[in-house]
Chain A
Amino acid sequence: MVDEITFIEQLQNERTKEQAFRKLVTTYKERLYWHIRKIVISHDDADDVLQNTFIKIFRGIDNFKQESQLFSWMYRIATNESISFINKRAKERNVDISDHQQHLTSNLSSDSMFSGDEIELILQKAIKTLPTKQQLVFNMKYFDNLKYKQIAEILETSEGALKASYFHAVRKVEEFVKKNVQ
């Protein structure tokens, strides 16, 4: 791919925007999908949120100021879209967000789009017991192998705070798994 500055210029130029945007979707759709899926759990919801994320990216690309990497900026949009989505769903069910997430994971064993064994199911349940920010950090570090620097840029927080947050998250997850695995 051309260097990022040139690519952003193509995305912001009316003449080349559409073609460059297609390239952007092809490059990032899978990474963003998995990031969203881990938050919203269901495939259908993840599909809706991913489409909304790309629509927001398309609408907002002209105002992208390059203060962060393009990838971090898109990840941030995807994160915000996913959190707004589950908040909305929790509101509709008249429950708080953590209750709603636990409800989602409790249905996972019957979800045809989840093929994990028992221990993987327990891991998912463990993650959903964490506060939202720790869940995000855990997913991005443990599953996506992102660097703390990138996560800090996406969540707009310091690296030190992230490391502490991740440490608390893995410890809680470990405790939950140990307690629930026979």
Chain B
Amino acid sequence: MNRNRKNIEAYLNSNSMDENQFSVPENYFNSIEDSVLSKIIEEQLPGKLTYNVPDNYFESFEDRLFSNTEFPKKETKVIRLKSKILKMIPTAAAACMLLFIGLNYFSNTEKITFETISSEELELWFNDSNFEENSINLLEFTDADFTDTDILEDDTSINDDDILEYLNTINNTTLLTEIES
């Protein structure tokens, strides 16, 4: 018994009960009076809360919550036109560059010669051009030798069908006037 007492004294005197080995929340001792007194008063206060809820209120709560119009619905992915256009800009720019290069470097390989122009195109050009009688262009034509029979005889340049088509397309009154004169 005496030995036990000595052991307890030794234990109490030892460092094992050193206050530094335990910690308390900050300001614990400053507010302990408030906590204790609050508990004493609490016990004198009347019972607990007696609010009620309608029957099955909690059981049906989730159904009402998820059908609430304010509740975020599962998002469907919407690809906005603006963002789609923005994404296409680099592709479109690259396509334009390729088109530009292509037109400049590859299309010009075909040389335009007098032979490549069709007679219809020439005719159109001549009709659309506003030649004046005294213009240099017309004067230059006067130097041409229209008596050269080769022009008519050369069947590769004008054949019968072409002549027939020409006669069908031109204004008949003009032709008559030309013959009369």
Is B truly associated with A?
A: yes
- List residues of A whose CB falls within 8 A of some B CB: 18, 22, 25-26, 29-30, 33-34, 37-38, 43, 47, 50-52, 54-55, 58-59, 112-117, 119-120, 122-123, 141-143, 149, 158-160, 163-164, 166-167, 170-171, 173-174, 177
Q: Is B13 an interface residue (CB 8 A)?
A: no
A122 to B70, CA, bound (A): 37
**Interface SS of B by simple majority:** loop
A31 to B10, CA, bound (A): 50
B39 to chain A, nearest CB (A): 9
Closest to A168 in B: B34
A97 to B13, CA, bound (A): 58
With known contacts A18-B74, A55-B70, A163-B38, A29–B50 Cβ distance under 8 A: no
A17 to chain B, nearest CB (A): 10
What 5 pairs across the A-B complex have the smallest Cβ distances? Answer: A116-B50, A167-B34, A160-B27, A163-B31, A119-B46
Which of these binds chain A: B60-68, B106-114, B125-133, B170-178?
B60-68
Subset of 11 A-B contacts with CB under 8 Å: A25-B62, A43-B53, A58-B71, A114-B50, A116-B47, A116-B51, A120-B46, A120-B47, A143-B49, A166-B34, A174-B45
B40 to chain A, nearest CB (A): 9
Q: Is B72 an interface residue (CB 8 A)?
A: yes
Q: Is B90 an interface residue (CB 8 A)?
A: no
Instruction: Decide: B46 and A123 in contact? CB cutoff 8 A.
Output: yes
Instruction: Decide: B34 and A174 in contact? CB cutoff 8 A.
Output: no
B117 to chain A, nearest CB (A): 66
A149 to B26, CA, bound (A): 11
A138 to B42, CA, bound (A): 10
B contact residues around A171 at 8 Å (CB): 37, 41
With known contacts A18-B74, A120-B50, A174–B27 Cβ distance under 8 A: no
**Interface SS of A by simple majority:** helix
Q: Is B35 an interface residue (CB 8 A)?
A: yes
A contact residues around B147 at 8 Å (CB): none
B contact residues around A22 at 8 Å (CB): 62
Other-chain contact of A37, B51, B54, B62, B74 (Cβ < 8 Å): B51
With known contacts A51-B65, A55-B72, A166-B34, A142–B45 Cβ distance under 8 A: yes
